Structure 1
Amino acid sequence: MSPSGEKVVLVGNHPPRQCGIATFTRDLREALSEARPQRELPVVALTDPGQNYDYPDEVRFEIHQDEARDYEDAGRFISLTGAGVISVQHEFGIFGGHAGEELLRLLSATETPVVSTLHTVLAEPDDHQRRVFRKLIERSARLVVMSRKGREILRDVWGVEDWKIAEIPHGIPDLPFVDPSFHHERFGLIGRKVILTFGLISPGKGIEDGIRAMAEVVKTHPEVCYVIVGATHPALIRECGEEYREELEALVQELGLEGNVRFENRYVDFDELQEWIGAADIYLTPYLNSAQITSGTLAYCYGSGKAVVSTPYWHAEELLGSGNGRLVGFRDPEGIAKAIRELLDDPASCLMMRKRAFLEGREMIWSRVAERYHALFDEVASEGSPVAASVVRPSSASPRSEEPALEWNFDHVLRMTDSTGMFQHARYALPWFDHGYCTDDNARALILCTQLEDEESFVSELDRVRTAAAAFLDAAFDRERKRFRNFMSFDRRWMEESGSEDSHGRAVWSLGVTSAKTRSKALRGWAIDVFDAAFPTLVDFTSPRSWAFGLLGISDYLDTYPGDLKARRIAAELGAKLLDLYDRTADEDWRWFEDSVTYDNPRLPQAMMLAGEITDNARMKQVGLESLRWLMEHQQGSGGCFRAVGSPGYWERGGEPASYDQQPLEATAAVAACLVARRIENGRYWDKEAARAYEWFLGRNDLRTPLYDRETGGCHDGLQPSRLNRNQGAESTLAFWMAHADMRRLRGIKEPAAETRSLKPFHHAYA
């Protein structure tokens, strides 16, 4: 896990959402990353109702604004990332509920300390705002304001002590001080004097007063062009379309200003915005009321050395009150016109004003703002959490009726485990030291123990196994290479620098299950930390089974943390890889992903179905179902019993499947895959197929001989032509108990099939 404080999660809007807070969140994150590259800075983004954004990779988790559960999921996700601090961008309207109260749901689901950057500080809140903001103040370790007025209101109205308030200005890009005419040719404005207003357009911006002022300005300065850059605010579009902009355009025509007012009706990117700021001779911000604690557009232009004419809202008063700009009254077009004419008529005074603003603005550039935020985050992280909130634990309880008659017996699992981990192989029922340990089996052990935590009578005896397995996987992971080693000798020496792709996939699978299912906050924190570092490597692999194993873990993980966009993207990519294999290989007679059917085969269709569920891709689900049905139809022995494709030998296209050595993990995978298919496709077919595969362990097989040993609690390593493999290794024993857990889950489900992912198999994926 990252050192305390070295990960900061930013919560707020983010592009491509179009709003000032989205831009601020992006710019702050970029500045923080540039100032301290080693600090991890994932973003939790708020998506407004009815929208669907293609977020960049830095956005790790998405909250749909009106979905209450998303906030709880996000809080748990943040806790398990090991973040030292949450940086909240607060504006009442971007969070769901009355006055954005759903933010409190997120913050109650994590103990991580909070730094809240306040984009609005209300002096006269309504009752809902008062209640929510009071709780935010209590939950926050520090409150960041961008002006002295913000500090004053927090202190005088809300009673916040000075030590809890940090005053950090709105960041600005570090633009050069240039003559505006340098940019005029770029926009076809040679010979013009440019008055600029930019930002999302809405009635509160007072642009109609700016237009009316131009009618007076052009009488003495006909070269003036008032440029209004920005799209109409999306919320206003949803409410009443372009009504406000059309009113502005009608006003321009009424005043005969078609040649002096120019609308750039679009959301411009950052590079173009910098050029528009550079092209401005005067920046005009004619807002209509005083209660604006900060304005990013004003900060940008002032710090870039622009002459500013503004109404006296709070932020403008603070920046311009010392004479570094001109303040005019609210709703005063004549005053605006007078201030603009005076600046145009006195170029020398205008230039001095610009230089003073530019020099003062050096304290506002993003690199310096980022340094102050980093120092604040370090301070808060070192103090630890001020709250004792409990992390909300998702329910993983499962029905307990109609279980298989067998009693749980973990004697052999315990026998096969020491303080290093679970041994690979056994001689009969004794651990076989010569073969040491492997990542594959410890991953399976971790999955089983985690999935059985809700079985209260088993937690204590399996805790030692779980701890050893987790510690083994932690040691196996090479953080520099982002790969797991697989084989370790009995004297604790790694036998390779990197293990197989499949072992890496199984390890990711176990971490996905653990990060989603375990009760232990410490273990979940560890699991999500290693999972987060390890699962992206899967996309570079070529083994279809590594993709499949990884998808099983990502699927469990996303059941609990559905807003993790990076996990969703990688799941979609892995699913697409499997689908492409199938489409290039399968035909009417061979409905498979490769030209051979080898080992752990049902995992491929199982992963295909899960990828289809994650991405809501009907084609993937269809391919998963048809390939699994095809495989199960061909895995039948005498009397219709389950007969796994044998190992070695397998089944080459055009040939006959090997009948032996039949491996337990094939039956386990078949049970789990059938349970996923059961969820997708109604009917009792998949129940029967799951039972057929499970009963293979109990004696319904080609030899009519049980592989499960009731005396030892172990499972034999395979079914050979005339006898059992008498050894009871870790893979086989874990495979049996995993299948048993799945069947126990299946027999507790009353309905013939389910429509929701809450009825996934007990572990829905074991190897």
Structure 2
Amino acid sequence: MGESQPIVMISSYPPRLCGIGTFTEEAREFIQKANPGREVLVISHTDGSGEGVFPIIDMSRKDWWVPVANKIRGLRPYAIHLEHEYGLYEYVDPRGYGDGNEGVLSLLSALSDYPTVVEPHTVHGRLTEFEANFIYQMCQRARIVLLKCHYQKWRLDWNFMGRGWATPRNIMVVPHGARPDRRWGIEDVPQLKEEIGLNRFPYLGEHIIGLVGWIQSNKRWDILTSIWEEVHDLILQESGQDWNLLAAGSMRDPNHLRDYEEYRQQVEVLEQKGLAHYFEFIPRGDIYYKVMAVCDFIVLPSIDETQSGTLARIISLNKPFITTAPMEGLTAQTLESKGGLLFTTKAMLKEQVVRLACDEDLRLELGDNLKKYLDGVVSWDVVAGQYNEAYALARESVDSGRPIELPLEF
């Protein structure tokens, strides 16, 4: 059982335009850094590619998990790390009926003799009956389950107790990782604007508020764009500064086309008045960070999110932010990091945007809080170390033949 055994991740993977795939690509980089003597390999869906990637998950097959299990046995892994999101593993039969992620449970059962770690990306505070049953069965089959927020762990206890079920004890909290190596300073902004082509728009002045990321129905850009002209004028009156709105991103799901077109139209109207700019780009890789880096702060008006890759990038850059509350993971990380402001009505959003734009000391304070939170809590370097702890516990469970029992949150 030497260091030659690989860590095998199971996930969607680029070039698929998928938030979980992008997450896994970044996580893999830092897991590899924390395990220089091991390969970190990926078993992906058939549209994944790259070195050390095996694109064999074929969701047109009900038994898609069988070749995955066979491949894993051949790789003789040190640990198996599965990234779970319901939509990634749902087999749909010719009638249009889904199997409720039965394949994931079958895969975990088939790999019961291996150290399995499952990282679910959707665990709501109030579970549906299906979600509760699936998570219960998943925890029974996996050696270690990783939740991203502490509230998810104590709410899971509440959800299960209310059903008369025993709460699983093999659950760790490991936060959504954030890069520690993308912190550009104010002096770098002109060069970054030039690199991504934003220097061609002179009305994008010294102070910019960002709406950045994938354009989806749940990322309600219109909440801010619909009041931006009034907000812009209030900031100008109070501070004498001419702030601009940068709406930047792209659509990845055709089902969101109507909202994408509506949001773009609103920004284009503002653009004609010199108050905003729309910048189309694929939110992935370095350009994602560079677009955010030219902004003074970010507004993240999501109305349906458990945790957010967009917020992880905001934290990476130590950018103050404003986001919706109460909103599960977004609210939890805002409170824990002390790096952002919350809103729950349009009037409150207007007030918070004006407040943050007009108070440079507050922006600096929030940014400093995010730096401390990044360095101490969510840096990928810290998170990769926690993954290694999870792998070690999973191996201990296999070797001892006993389940791991960790303390409850409360």
Bin of the TM-score, shorter chain as denominator length: 0.7 to 0.9
Residue equivalent to 2:211: 197
Task: Map Cα deviations across residues 690-746 of structure 1 (whole Å, 9 max, x no partner).
Answer: xxxxxxxxxxxxxxxxxxxxxxxxxxxxxxxxxxxxxxxxxxxxxxxxxxxxxxxxx
Change (3 A) 1:132 1:307: same
Residue 33 of structure 1: how far off its partner (Å): 0.7
Residue equivalent to 1:140: 142
| In 2: Cα distance, 1:139 partner to 1:26 partner | 25
Contact 1:6 1:40 in 2 (8 A): yes
Larger radius of gyration: 1
Contact 2:3 2:38 in 1 (8 A): no
Residue equivalent to 1:68: 62
Residue 183 of structure 1: how far off its partner (Å): 1.8
| In 1: Cα distance, 2:127 partner to 2:60 partner | 22
Residue equivalent to 1:366: 380
Answer yes or no: is 1:243 the counterpart of 2:243: no
Residue equivalent to 1:224: 243
Residue 120 of structure 1: how far off its partner (Å): 1.0
Could you tell me the percent identity over the aligned residues? Answer: 20
One-letter code of the match for 2:80?
I
Contact 2:124 2:328 in 1 (8 A): no
Residue equivalent to 2:123: 121
Change (3 A) 1:75 1:288: same
One-letter code of the match for 2:341?
R
Residue equivalent to 1:32: 31
Change (3 A) 1:169 1:314: same
Structure 2 counterparts to residues 363-762 of structure 1, below 5 A:
363=376, 364-384=378-398
One-letter code of the match for 2:308?
S
Q: Which has the higher strand share?
A: 2
The normalised TM-score by structure 1 is 0.46
Residue equivalent to 2:109: 108
Q: 2:223 aligns with which of 205, 209, 212?
A: 209
Residue 76 of structure 2: SS of its match in structure 1? Answer: coil
Task: Map Cα deviations across residues 481-524 of structure 1 (whole Å, 9 max, x no partner).
Answer: xxxxxxxxxxxxxxxxxxxxxxxxxxxxxxxxxxxxxxxxxxxx
Contact 1:5 1:381 in 2 (8 A): no
Residue 162 of structure 1: how far off its partner (Å): 7.1
Change (3 A) 1:250 1:271: closer
Change (3 A) 1:247 1:376: same
Residue equivalent to 1:532: none
Residue equivalent to 2:78: 84
Q: 1:264 aligns with which of 273, 279, 287?
A: 279
**Structure 2 spans left out of the alignment, 5+ residues:** 92-98, 237-241, 403-410
| In 1: Cα distance, 2:228 partner to 2:42 partner | 42
| In 2: Cα distance, 1:93 partner to 1:288 partner | 19
Residue equivalent to 1:338: 351
Task: Map Cα deviations across residues 422-479 of structure 1 (whole Å, 9 max, x no partner).
Answer: xxxxxxxxxxxxxxxxxxxxxxxxxxxxxxxxxxxxxxxxxxxxxxxxxxxxxxxxxx
Residue 273 of structure 1: SS of its match in structure 2? Answer: helix
One-letter code of the match for 1:304?
L
CA RMSD of aligned residues (A): 2.6
Residue equivalent to 1:165: 171
Residue 204 of structure 1: how far off its partner (Å): 0.7
Contact 1:7 1:41 in 2 (8 A): yes
Residue 15 of structure 1: how far off its partner (Å): 0.8
Residue 158 of structure 1: SS of its match in structure 2? Answer: helix
Residue equivalent to 1:306: 319
**Structure 1 spans left out of the alignment, 5+ residues:** 389-767
Residue equivalent to 1:174: 180
Residue equivalent to 1:14: 13
Residue equivalent to 1:95: 89
Task: Map Cα deviations across residues 654-674 of structure 1 (whole Å, 9 max, x no partner).
Answer: xxxxxxxxxxxxxxxxxxxxx
Residue 122 of structure 1: SS of its match in structure 2? Answer: coil
Contact 1:147 1:293 in 2 (8 A): no
Change (3 A) 1:106 1:259: farther
Residue 282 of structure 1: how far off its partner (Å): 0.8
User: Number of paired residues?
Assistant: 374
One-letter code of the match for 1:296?
G
Residue 207 of structure 1: how far off its partner (Å): 1.1
Task: Map Cα deviations across residues 233-255 of structure 1 (whole Å, 9 max, x no partner).
Answer: 2xx31x46x32211112333556
Contact 2:270 2:276 in 1 (8 A): no
| In 1: Cα distance, 2:268 partner to 2:213 partner | 22
| In 2: Cα distance, 1:199 partner to 1:221 partner | 24
One-letter code of the match for 1:59?
V
Answer yes or no: is 1:283 the counterpart of 2:284: no
| In 2: Cα distance, 1:170 partner to 1:6 partner | 26
Contact 2:10 2:44 in 1 (8 A): yes
Residue 322 of structure 2: SS of its match in structure 1? Answer: strand
Residue 309 of structure 1: how far off its partner (Å): 0.6
Residue 268 of structure 1: how far off its partner (Å): 4.0
Q: 1:349 aligns with which of 362, 366, 381?
A: 362
Q: Which has the higher contact order (CA 8 A, sep 6+)?
A: 2
Contact 2:126 2:155 in 1 (8 A): no
The normalised TM-score by structure 2 is 0.83
| In 1: Cα distance, 2:397 partner to 2:126 partner | 32
Task: Map Cα deviations across residues 102-121 of structure 1 (whole Å, 9 max, x no partner).
Answer: 22232233232321112111
- The answer to which of 156-165 and 34-43 deviates more is 156-165
